[in-house]
Amino acid sequence: MKRKLHHTKWPFLAGGAITFLLLGFNLGRNMGEITPATIDSAADLIGLSFTNSEKDSMLTNLSNQRTNLENLRKITLENSVAPALIFNPLPQGFFPNQTQKPLDWGLPNTVELPSQDHDIAYLPVHQLAVLIQSKKLSSERLTQIYLDRIKTYSDTLQCLITLMEESALQKARQMDQELASGKYRGPLHGIPYGIKDLLAVPGTKTTWGAMPYKDQVIDETATVVEKLEDAGAVLVGKFTLGALAMGDIWYGGVTKNPWNLKQGSSGSSAGSASAVSAGLVPFAIGTETLGSIVSPSTRNGVTGLRPTFGRVSKHGAMALSWSMDKIGPISRSALDNAIVLATIQGIDPKDPSTIPAAFNYSAKNNVKALKIGYFQSFFEGERPGIENDKAVLEVLRSQGIELHPLELKTSINPAPLVSMLMVEGAAAFDELTRLNLDDQLVAQGRNAWPNLFRSARFIPAVEYVQMSRQRSLLIQEMYQLMKDYDVIVTPSFAGQQLQITNLTGHPALCLPNGFGSNGSPTSITLLGNLFEEEKLIMLGRLIQENTDWQAKRPPLFDR
């Protein structure tokens, strides 16, 4: 029988399968009697010890608890069912601004239409929007350009799960007809895009990138897709993700980095970032729990925005960690991401974790009035990519931006708190583990989901609550650290900032800033206060209007 416990394989279990018996981890075997030896083995795993009398007193309670666990498992829970405990990233005394002002994108009055289709394909959203509104370019033609590129290149990149050609062309023609009749929905009118295949769309497979779910159809529409549909955007395809939102390995292969086809796209928003980088769509939707927008945006040389936790509804998206999952855009520019965020953000009755907050971007706001900090020690010493990071600071200084040095210091170590993600992920995919469906996942290493989900079942509920309490302190400390700054500049992967800001729910904008010695892109990250993404866009736009890092194209796909 699969995973029978033998002392040679599980030397830490003094009583064979007794630890599993205590926790009610039922893999189809009969549960044995809970004894003092069972408690000793389980206690060893969690670093506790009990006296003989204490163990004797626990026996009845533990037996009752296991019965309760067995009864709990008689109820099948869909992945979409969230816990009653809703994570709230707001520090004490902080409330986001809810006064929404008119948006001003500062778009150009005119844009010249390139003569070549591949040059059109690489235009950013904010220029495509002007071309469509001025009727120099039809949505149908633009959509066909991207559909053709997807059909040409997606197999090479292993980035596509579902092509939506028929519905996309139908929507594009509708958008052209509306524009001809005088109806213009806004800057996403007629703009094609793709989504990470953990977002539900009726009539399509929603595979989560994982073999056990490769034929799954969820008969609902994710809120972000509904909002983009209402804004006139044209959904052309569903792109790959690393299985169950980890890495770039999915049931069909490994999604590739267009700059280096020997290298994976990183993840887990692997297909979304790869497709944008290769000019298969002008923007795509990704998700981040612990780096899944920042990492593939870096690897593929595109611009990714991780919004504040609670800014964008997660309804219709696969849940990995209810308290850490965030949905955001990946595109060619900071401004493009702002246009998309303005569409998909907002409170949603279907997602109780959403928080009402205004998003007030205006091109008229003075970026030089912002107070900009940077984590000084992260820009010191020698490491790969540090010169690219320093170059961003020099660009800002050359534009008259005063930079204020500070350090990222907290009394809370974020590393143990990441176990909250593991616990929530193990709960979200409980049956995957208990029914041995995890064997179907391609990745089976020590650090892959199957093993992480199994291991997470041994994290006590008490310790999960203690992690949550420490997380509250971390939120408060980060609020105090960041509240005196509008934006903080940081290398994308230096120190523990990526762990910390994902735990605290802070927004981040990840921008290309050059290339490494291996020819792959590098990135810089801008951090903002909760629900102040517009300031990230202001500074990101300044950087990108004075550099050309984001305009570079992977040579193999620039045709």
- Reduce the secondary structure of 400-429 to three states and give it as a string: CCCEEEECCCCCCCHHHHCHHHHHHHHHHC
Q: Which residues pair with 250 in a beta bridge?
A: 253
Q: Which residues pair with 508 in a beta bridge?
A: 306, 527
Residue at 498 is within a domain: yes
> Which H helix or E strand runs over 75?
none
3-state secondary structure of 140: helix
| Closest of 154, 318, 159 to residue 253, by C-alpha | 159
Alpha helices for 122-193 (secondary structure H): 125-133, 139-157, 165-180
> Which H helix or E strand runs over 471?
helix 461-482
User: CA 389 to CA 514: how far, in whole Å?
Assistant: 9
User: CA 354 to CA 348: how far, in whole Å?
Assistant: 6
Q: Which two tokens stand for residue 45?
A: 């795993």
User: CA 54 to CA 50: how far, in whole Å?
Assistant: 6
In sequence order, what are the residues at sequence separation of 6 or more whose Cβ sits closer than 8 angstroms to the Cβ of residue 53? none
Q: Which residues pair with 283 in a beta bridge?
A: 331
Q: Which two tokens stand for residue 161?
A: 């799960």
The C-alpha angle 139, 147, 317, rounded to 5 degrees, equals: 90
User: CA 24 to CA 42: how far, in whole Å?
Assistant: 12
Residue at 229 is within a domain: yes
Residue at 239 is within a domain: yes
User: CA 284 to CA 11: how far, in whole Å?
Assistant: 47
pLDDT (tens, 9 = 90+) of the chain, 559 residues, equals: 333 333 223 322 323 333 344 454 444 445 689 999 999 999 999 998 999 999 999 999 899 989 988 998 899 999 999 999 999 999 999 999 999 999 999 999 999 999 999 999 999 999 999 999 999 999 999 999 999 999 999 999 999 999 999 999 999 999 999 999 999 999 999 999 999 999 999 999 999 999 999 999 999 999 999 999 999 999 999 999 999 999 999 999 999 999 999 999 999 999 999 999 999 999 999 999 999 999 999 999 999 999 999 999 999 999 999 999 999 999 999 999 999 999 999 999 999 999 999 999 999 999 999 999 999 999 999 999 999 999 999 999 999 999 999 999 999 999 999 999 999 999 999 999 999 999 999 999 989 999 999 999 999 999 999 999 999 999 999 999 999 999 999 999 999 999 999 999 999 999 999 999 989 999 999 999 999 999 999 999 999 999 999 999 999 999 9
pLDDT digits (tens, 9 = 90+) for 204-246: 999 999 999 999 999 999 999 999 999 999 999 999 999 999 9
CB 4: neighbour CB atoms within 10 A? 11
**pTM, to two decimals:** 0.92
CATH code of the domain containing 168:
3.90.1300.10
- If you count DSSP H runs as helices and E runs as strands, how many of each does the chain have, helices first? 19, 15
Residue at 461 is within a domain: no
When divided into structural domains, the chain yields a total of: 1
In sequence order, what are the residues at sequence separation of 6 or more whose Cβ sits closer than 8 angstroms to the Cβ of residue 12? 41, 44, 45
Q: Which class for 296: exposed (0-12), middle (13-18), buried (19 or more C-beta within 10 A)?
A: buried
Residue at 33 is within a domain: no
Residue at 400 is within a domain: yes
Single-letter residue type at 289? T
In sequence order, what are the residues at sequence separation of 6 or more whose Cβ sits closer than 8 angstroms to the Cβ of residue 162? 197, 204, 205, 237, 238
Residue at 521 is within a domain: yes
Residue at 87 is within a domain: no
Residue 182's domain comprises 117-412+467-554
pLDDT digits (tens, 9 = 90+) for 485-500: 999 999 999 999 999 9
Q: Running DSSP on this structure, what letter comes out for residue 549?
A: G
